[in-house]
Amino acid sequence: MSETAGEGRYIYSVVKADIESNLGDVGIENSNVYLVPNRDIAAVVHSCVAEPYTTHDDEKAKEWVLEHSYVIDCATNRFGTVLPISFDVIVAGDDDVVKDWLEDNYDFLKDELERVKDKAEYSVLIFCDEGQMADRIVSGNPELLKLKENIETMPKGTAYLYRRKFELKTKKELSEQVFKLAKDFSAEIRELVDSIKIEKKVSLVPEKYRGKMLVAALTCLVHHDRVEVLGNLLEEIDKREGLSVRFTGPWAPFSFVQLKDT
Amino acid sequence: MGAVQLRPAQGYLKMKPERDDYGLVDILDRLLNKGVILNADLIITVAGIPLVGLSLKAALASIETMLDYGMLEAWDRETREWYKKQFEESNVPLMRDEMARYTTFGYIWYSQGMISSWRPGFWYITNKRLLLWRRMPYDTLFEAPLENIGKISVRKMNEFGWEREEINLQFQDEIARIRVSNLVEFEGAIRKAMRDPEIEIARS
């Protein structure tokens, strides 16, 4: 088949499957989603014109992204862990172009599929209550305790300066403590998971955790058999005074697959 | 379509990973900022470049503000409901004491005037009818009482250089052209239902 001008394939994910198969009209805007297989791997696609999905309407855009996510979930359910593709990635060309791409990158894709087999991505956010933690630090630190007591008997002007000093010192101790906690938790969690990433930026702080201090944001690739142990560890952390954990998943391994340009 | 559940966790978990709110923001973040990106020469677009990516990123940036006004909750709830709806059992318009015996995704050839195309939907073989139903936009694209179905045959058709098999079904002096992935099973299921509408049809 020759490439028809203007024809495109929207790519949702790459899965382990060696047969042609139709997933139904589950795609973006009810597109018919099907597999384009090459050897024992396949791309999950829908046929479209080779133009990006664009809109100024946030609702619409959100719907598209959720539809994409839904297809990833369906494919995961059917074929096991998938390699998820970013939103709005469209190959210019027909099924044969997709097949060629699968063939050109076969070794990489196959290896990645093997690597994430029976695993899923989980997100772990650990928060602490800053006030509670600060109180604990002060009560366990003789120097800070003494400073605090002295401030109460000082004249106003002097007290102000010392209060600043007290606050700065407490803050420093607090950040050291949080840093240590983050290091310890990450190390403990690392033992239980296949891969771990420390996130520098968190796009969401749910309402429940507003006003709390983020201790660690980790994204983990976890074997299905290990999720339970991870849950147990997180439960223990969550029970500790002043700490709370947000544990979400399973997600397709978005954070653990990267395809470099060839 | 049944409920989709990702890898149900085994046994009792002390702390269970949640996807209670279907983590809208988690989904946005992952689909827009992460995941495999194809080789540059093949891609015509990547999230982040087109407008949709930008507007969604703006939405992400404004979440803090939305939280302050309690908007996210409403926004999230809406999305959650939309998402749930997609999982819900399709409410195919069945008659009273009509029961679906066999369902499969497929197409019917639609031709009227200038327009002709394969129209997709779900084929339902019930104890009374054969129908092709589409969830969105909601429509019954074809229906025939079992007793009115005439001759059924499988034909090889040549289309754009591809040879594909389809089912031809005689109904009211017309031929309905049907495509499904498992032609043999589908044909067998219709024949079974026509012979004995009350029989259970097993799927391979």
Asked whether residue B185 falls in the same domain as residue B106, the answer is yes
Higher pLDDT, A192 or B160: A192
Query: Which amino acid is present at A164?
Result: R
Strand partners, B116: B111
| Contacts with B83 (C-beta within 8 Å, 6 or more apart), sequence order | A66, A70, B22
Per-chain mean pLDDT for chain A = 87
- Rounded CA separation B132/B151 (Å): 18
Asked whether residue A64 falls in the same domain as residue A183, the answer is no
Asked whether residue B42 falls in the same domain as residue B129, the answer is no
Query: What average pLDDT score do residues A38-64 get?
Result: 85
The candidate with the shortest Cα–Cα distance to B145, out of B124, B126, B129, B123, is B129
Split into its structural domains, chain A has a count of: 2
In a domain, B68, yes or no: yes
Asked whether residue A72 falls in the same domain as residue A85, the answer is yes
Asked whether residue B156 falls in the same domain as residue B188, the answer is yes
Asked whether residue B117 falls in the same domain as residue B81, the answer is no
- Rounded CA separation B33/B54 (Å): 11
CB contact under 8 A, B15 and A232: yes
> What is the least distance, in Å, from the CA of B72 to any CA of chain A?
9
- pTM of this structure: 0.62
What's residue B63's pLDDT? 42
Last residue of a domain, one of A66, A98, A115: A115
What's residue B47's pLDDT? 39
Q: Which domain holds residue A161?
A: 120-256
Higher pLDDT, B191 or B23: B191
- Residue B39: closest C-alpha in chain A: A261
Query: What average pLDDT score do residues A118-128 get?
Result: 92
Query: What average pLDDT score do residues A211-227 get?
Result: 90
Asked whether residue A64 falls in the same domain as residue A187, the answer is no
Sheet holding B129-134, edge to edge: B139-145, B129-134, B115-126, B100-112, B174-180, B162-171, B149-159
B143: domain CATH number?
Answer: 2.30.29.30
Asked whether residue A124 falls in the same domain as residue A250, the answer is yes
Asked whether residue A133 falls in the same domain as residue A251, the answer is yes
In a domain, A241, yes or no: yes
The candidate with the shortest Cα–Cα distance to A126, out of A61, A192, A199, is A199
> What is the least distance, in Å, from the CA of B124 to any CA of chain A?
14
What confidence tens digit (pLDDT) does each residue in B29-85 have? 787 777 666 554 455 544 333 334 444 444 444 444 333 333 444 444 554 555 455
Query: What average pLDDT score do residues B149-161 get?
Result: 79
Split into its structural domains, chain B has a count of: 2
Q: Looking at the complex, does the CB of residue A152 fall below 8 Å from at least one CB of chain B?
A: no
Query: What average pLDDT score do residues A190-214 get?
Result: 81
Distances (CA, A) of B125 to A200, B1, B98, B146: 54, 15, 10, 9
Q: Which domain holds residue B56?
A: 24-87
In a domain, A262, yes or no: no
In a domain, A86, yes or no: yes
